[in-house]
Amino acid sequence: MNEIMIATKNIGKVKEFSDLFASRGVKVKSLVDFPNIDDIEETGETFVENAKLKAEAIATKFNIPVIADDSGLSIDFLDGRPGVYSARYAGEQKNDRANIDKVLAELEGVPTEKRSARFHCALALAIPDKETQIVEGTCEGRITEDLLGENGFGYDPIFLVVEKGLTMAQLSKDEKNQISHRAKALKKLDKLLQEREEFIR
């Protein structure tokens, strides 16, 4: 594989995948270059289901291998919300800042020890005429009371990586790419691809 299509229009994800795949010598393409393709409806109840349906829809459309990422934030105090609704938590317009404000409002007054949360990432690799492969990664943390940091995207400014004492948005991209849910899932995909040489072209 020297080029892979990521079935997303999320620029934050595209940047991370470009960096993660650069070290593997693989060039990343994405749906950012195909603005006319409508968003695939995320009708699944899990990250895995949504990753699978996004990857398979785009692999079929382009007839090439495709990776899709379905990811999000699960907060224990909110019974796992926003979960699969992370992108649209504060409404259909997918506004990161509005999503963060909603989470912070829901956690107002909740003490530190009850603010535990984790990022999830499900990756699906769909190759035309082959069985779709799925891997997952998680990253544990805690929701802060205020936004901190400018890097990353989405909920990164309110996600404290406890062992570093910094939010995900205060980490450099290389630091995030060593510990993130996405990086962990991609490492598992690497392993799976090595075990199944048939997938490597």
Ligand X SMILES: O=P(O)(O)OP(=O)(O)OP(=O)(O)OC[C@H]1O[C@@H](n2cnc3c(O)ncnc32)[C@H](O)[C@@H]1O
Residues of this chain that interact with Mg ion (CB under 5 A) are 87
Tally of CA atoms within 13 A in the half-sphere of 90 that contains its CB: 15
Strands 27-30, 3-6: parallel, antiparallel or unpaired by DSSP?
parallel
Among 42, 101, 106, 140, binds ligand X (CB under 6 A): 42
> What's the closest the beta carbon of residue 41 comes to ligand X, in angstroms?
10
Tell me, yes or no, if 19 is annotated catalytic: no
Residues 52-91 within binding reach of ligand X (CB under 6 A): 69-73, 86-87
Q: How far is the CB of 181 from ligand X (least distance, A)?
A: 7
Q: In whole angstroms, how close is the CB of 30 to Mg ion at the nearest point?
A: 13
Q: Which residues inside 121-150 make contact with ligand X, applying CB under 6 A?
A: none
Q: What is the DSSP annotation of 92-155?
A: TT--HHHHHHHHHHHTTT--GGG-EEEEEEEEEEE-TTSPPEEEEEEEEEEE-SS---SSSSTT
C-alpha–C-alpha distance, residues 52 and 163, integer Å: 32
Q: How far is the CB of 61 from Mg ion (least distance, A)?
A: 16
- CB nearer to ligand X: pick between 73 and 160: 73
Measure CA 62 to chain center: 22
Residue 17 binds which one of ligand X, Mg ion, none, with CB within 5 to 8 A depending on kind?
A: none
φ and ψ of 16, to 5 deg: -65, -45
Phi, psi of 122 (to 5 degrees): -110, 130
Asked whether the beta carbons of 38 and 31 are under 8 A apart, the reply is no
Q: Which of 33, 39, 69, 70 is catalytic?
A: 70
Q: Give whichever of 54 and 127 is closer to ligand X, judged by the CB atom.
A: 54
Q: Does 171 bind ligand X (CB under 6 A)?
A: no
What are the residues facing 140 on neighbouring strands? 118
Interface residues with ligand X (CB under 6 A) are 8-10, 13, 42, 69-73, 86-87, 96, 99, 119, 152-156, 168, 180, 182
Catalytic residue list: 70
